[in-house]
Chain A
Amino acid sequence: MKLEEEIVRRQRDRARIMALLLGAFVVLVFFITIAKTGMNW
């Protein structure tokens, strides 16, 4: 495999994982805030 193709593939994979983790983190912080403020839904 060409080196540049492999670099782009890995960067794309890592960017996807990072996007998923950031999204999950935002959701987690939202629910932590709800729990800490004692709001009952």
Chain B
Amino acid sequence: MPTIEMTNPAALPADWRDLLALTKPRVMYLVVFTGLCGLLVAPVTLPFVLGFTAILCIALGAGACGALNQWYEVEIDAKMRRTAKRPLPGGRVDRQSALHFGVGLGFFSVILMGLATNWLAAALLAVSILFYVIVYTVWLKPRTTQNIVIGGAAGAFPPVIGWVAATGHLSALPLLLFAIIFLWTPPHFWALSLFVRSDYAAAGIPMLPVVAGPQNTRRQIFIYSLPMAASAIAPWLLGLTGPIYGVSVAVLSFVFLVLAARVLANRATEPAQMAPEKKLFAYSVFYLFALFAVLVADRWLAA
């Protein structure tokens, strides 16, 4: 057998670990968790295997989004420190394989969702994948500072899909859960983009801190946090949840607003001095996890 040095790893079949990395498993937790909570707070209890399949389909759909996002953004990822070692810019997976993998995963997740639960849930899953890939990744992200505002809708679908998978129809609570994640996304991502601003600038992505500057972004973070907190408390005020949710979310949202106010007061321009922004970003992840956890606790403890 001739000895040939490996000079072009992309010429090899992709390692399965790199295909797994294409699905961005680390950012999938929140999607799966919010989808699961949407399913658990629904007034209909699915058989375990159907509920499991619904959550699996949401996870696979999110994986398809991750793969197709990386397929489209390979040149951008190569310019950013945070993403330069991903499988595509790293040359460990070729673009066509990533495209086939993402499209295949997306079709599989939608069809399985339709067969296992209902076709409204499958249609919502398909819309969320197409919205993330076409509206957010291809259209908005490289063009406008509002990319994360409108694109945030893609990440807001999972609890709605979970609810519809269980019930077969939409109602007020899942739409409010959609609104909460939709309004949570801008402060969450803008806090991150403040301290990785140079990465986005190098890649030519018009994130708000790059185009409008840190102070304007800090103002927008605080402004968006207000309707986010109001929408978070709305399910309680409308009588859709109980006091466990209401009191817990009031406290959680108050802390969010305090941290957002600290970000607003910060004047730093260097990432090393952006402790309030880093704290808000970390807390925003905890906030969404905690909000959905108390939502489920409220529903099950009240029952």
**What is A's interface to B at a CB cutoff of 8 Å?**
1-7, 10-11, 13-14, 17, 28, 31-32, 34-36
Contact = CB atoms under 8 A, between A and B. Distances in A.
Contact of B6 (A6, A17, A28): A6
A2 B16 contact: no
Contacts of B6: 1, 3, 6
Contacts of A3: 4-6, 12
A6 B160 CA distance: 44
B129 to A, nearest CB: 20
B14 A10 contact: yes
Given A10-B13, A14-B16, A34-B49, 6 more contacts: A2-B3, A2-B4, A5-B1, A10-B16, A17-B16, A32-B53
A13 B16 CA distance: 7
B15 A10 contact: yes
19 contacts: A3-B4, A4-B1, A4-B2, A4-B4, A6-B12, A7-B13, A10-B12, A10-B13, A10-B16, A11-B13, A14-B13, A31-B49, A32-B50, A32-B116, A34-B49, A35-B47, A35-B50, A36-B50, A36-B116
Contacts of B258: none
Nearest to A30: B49
Interface of B: 1-6, 12-16, 47, 49-50, 53, 56, 115-116
B49 A32 contact: yes
Contact of B49 (A14, A17, A35): A35
A31 B53 CA distance: 10
Contacts of B12: 3, 6-7, 10
A18 B115 CA distance: 22
Contacts of B1: 2, 4-5
B189 to A, nearest CB: 33
Contacts of B13: 7, 10-11, 14
A3 to B, nearest CB: 4
A19 B115 CA distance: 22
A6 B3 CA distance: 11
Nearest to B115: A32
The 7 closest A-B pairs by CB, nearest first: A3-B4, A35-B47, A31-B49, A10-B13, A17-B16, A35-B49, A32-B116
Nearest to A8: B13
Nearest to A4: B1
A33 B277 CA distance: 49
A34 B6 CA distance: 49
